[in-house]
Chain A
């Protein structure tokens, strides 16, 4: 059964550095998402992406964040200048048009020191 994959599984970075988190959505899916979960808190929506543009974003998704689908398979989340509070588990998800079930990747644990 196809699955969403994410790399790396863990990343440690220094505050102020740029990080790129990578996701490979399920191949026939059209809608892509990033969520994050700070330790001990709920899973929070960051952004959704469809037809090569952002369709929706949350208040968390400020100018420090960007997303891109550089080729036909990858979907990336870039954080330009990481802050301590960006430390979290970042989940990628994807879905087809219908049904609207989102399939999640295993997550990337980001630690900002």
Chain B
């Protein structure tokens, strides 16, 4: 069955420290993965897609098919990065399967 796992519900780092939010998936086909971010009281917003291989707000994510992972990384966290982060997998058709989310807190 298709599944997305984010093992950390909460992650706390200090400003300027590196941050990595973990995402693992299980999918029998060719996966298409996304990271969405939800700032306090705001809507879910796309942060990045693995197909684009882009860096948004200093975040990057690399699809590792061998480890079935799509971890989100940023070398130097900022306080404004504090938010809820969701990893999502697009299945056949177009539905998204979400992970449980990781609440990131960046402390000053």
Contacts and interface: CB of A to CB of B under 8 A. Distances in A.
Interface of A: 3-4, 31, 33, 35, 41-45, 48, 55-56, 58, 91, 95, 99-107
B96 interface: yes
Top-10 shortest CB links A-B: A104-B44, A43-B98, A45-B95, A56-B93, A106-B43, A42-B100, A104-B43, A42-B98, A101-B46, A56-B95
Contacts, number: 54
Interface residues of B, number: 22
Interface of B: 32, 34, 36, 42-46, 49, 51, 86, 88, 90, 93-101
Nearest to A37: B98
A35 B44 CA distance: 12
A91 B96 CA distance: 12
B96 A45 contact: yes
A56 B94 contact: yes
Contacts of B45: 104
